[in-house]
Amino acid sequence: MTTQAIPETNTPALPTGTQAAVLHGARDLRIEHKPLAHLGPNDLLVEMRSGGICGSDMHYHAEGRNGTNVLGQPTVLGHEGAGVVIAAGAQATITSGTPVVIEPALPCRECATCLSGRYNLCPTGTCFGSPPTDGLFARHVVVPESAAHPLPDTIPAEIGAAIEPLAVAVWAVERAQVHKGHRVLITGAGPIGLLVAQVAAAQGAAEIVVTDVNDDRLAVATKFGATRTINTATTPLDLAGMDRLIECSGNSLALADGIKALAPATRAIVVGQAKPTVDGIPLGFLQRYEIDLVTAFRYANAFPTAIRLAASGVVDLQSIITSTYPLEEAAEALTAPVTDPTNLKVLVTY
Ligand SMILES: [Zn+2]
Ligand SMILES: [Zn+2]
């Protein structure tokens, strides 16, 4: 033990380090002590309350990579997180004690893309929990205030991490241009598909068909917005004349089949993580009927809408949360959706 003169102060001592779930390699997640970043004038120190496990976290944990991004150094995982501010930099306007959800994107805010408002596409942008950038599965994190959105009383920080996937759904429905009366096909009833169904219903969709290969997930979809469900493992897709396809499964076949269910002059959107290249997309059909094929990547300016939809109860955040694990059991949390496929959103708590 060393003794140092500590200046007298009225504020309680802030932590200088924290415990975090650090991924060292495939299947090698360690709970470690990490020093905390210096709290800059525009930063917030957040004591985390919830973290959400996403498909990308599961890929990093299982394979040491997600798509083309390979884990090159030990990295704290996690891009879905909420907590309570326990210290604020001198220039920050959010005060200590405020519950916040963290928007994980770290765009440059200076390039033409950022200045156009599409900061989610910033060519040099990084993201919490996307290696090598450390993420949010830690007891404390220091974040720029620009990444924090205050949570209303109706959304406890203990489930606030689920606002992030809801923001994905909000942006997907916005990019899909879902209008009142639309017949919407959603392929994939994972957390994103289930939230997309609720947001599409809020948008006034008249019919919402959800497909998946898992009956448990489809049963959840029926409770939250779906007017019809189809298990495509056992039943061929027999739809026609749909107005929108929102592909949330990452399965190329679901995309190809879903496109063929669309009416002329409609729109398909790729939300689920796409393969680098895909054969079998009916390009001639898309052209013959002028069906727009668009994509969505994360979200831009979608957190405020997501918070509003959850706060008002229009979207039920609890609908996708199936289990919680303490930080010490983060490795179990990262495999839980595979071990038990009835799992939807798994949260880490602190
Ligand atoms: Zn996510
Ligand atoms: Zn930028």
Q: Is the pLDDT of residue 173 over 80?
A: yes
Rounded distance from Cα 5 to ligand 1 centre (Å): 44
- Amino acid sitting at position 257: D
Rounded distance from Cα 78 to ligand 1 centre (Å): 8
Nearest ligand to the C-alpha atom of residue 110: 2
Confidence of residue 1 (pLDDT cuts 50, 70, 90): very low
Confidence of residue 281 (pLDDT cuts 50, 70, 90): very high
Rounded distance from Cα 293 to ligand 2 centre (Å): 25
Mean pLDDT of 284-311: 98
Mean pLDDT of 25-30: 98
Rounded distance from Cα 164 to ligand 1 centre (Å): 6
CA distances from 277 to 248, 280, 281 (A): 17, 10, 10
**Picking from 8-22, 50-64, 218-232, 248-262, which range would have the lowest pLDDT averaged per residue?**
8-22
pTM of the model: 0.95
d(CA 94, CA 317): 24
Q: What is the pLDDT of residues 203-235, one digit of tens each?
A: 999 999 999 999 999 999 999 999 999 999 999
Overall fold of domain 17-158+316-349? Quinone Oxidoreductase; Chain A, domain 1 (3.90.180)
Nearest ligand to the C-alpha atom of residue 298: 1
144 burial (CB, 10 Å; 0-12 / 13-18 / 19+) is middle
Overall fold of domain 166-295? Rossmann fold (3.40.50)
Nearest ligand to the C-alpha atom of residue 126: 2
Nearest ligand to the C-alpha atom of residue 57: 1
Intrachain domains 17-158+316-349 and 166-295 with the same fold: no
Rounded distance from Cα 111 to ligand 2 centre (Å): 4
Rounded distance from Cα 196 to ligand 2 centre (Å): 27
Nearest ligand to the C-alpha atom of residue 300: 2
Name the residue ranges covered by the structural domains of the chain. Answer: 17-158+316-349, 166-295
pLDDT of residue 51: 98
Mean pLDDT of 62-91: 97
d(CA 21, CA 158): 18
Nearest ligand to the C-alpha atom of residue 60: 1
Nearest ligand to the C-alpha atom of residue 272: 1
pLDDT of residue 11: 58
d(CA 132, CA 103): 17
Mean pLDDT of 235-256: 96
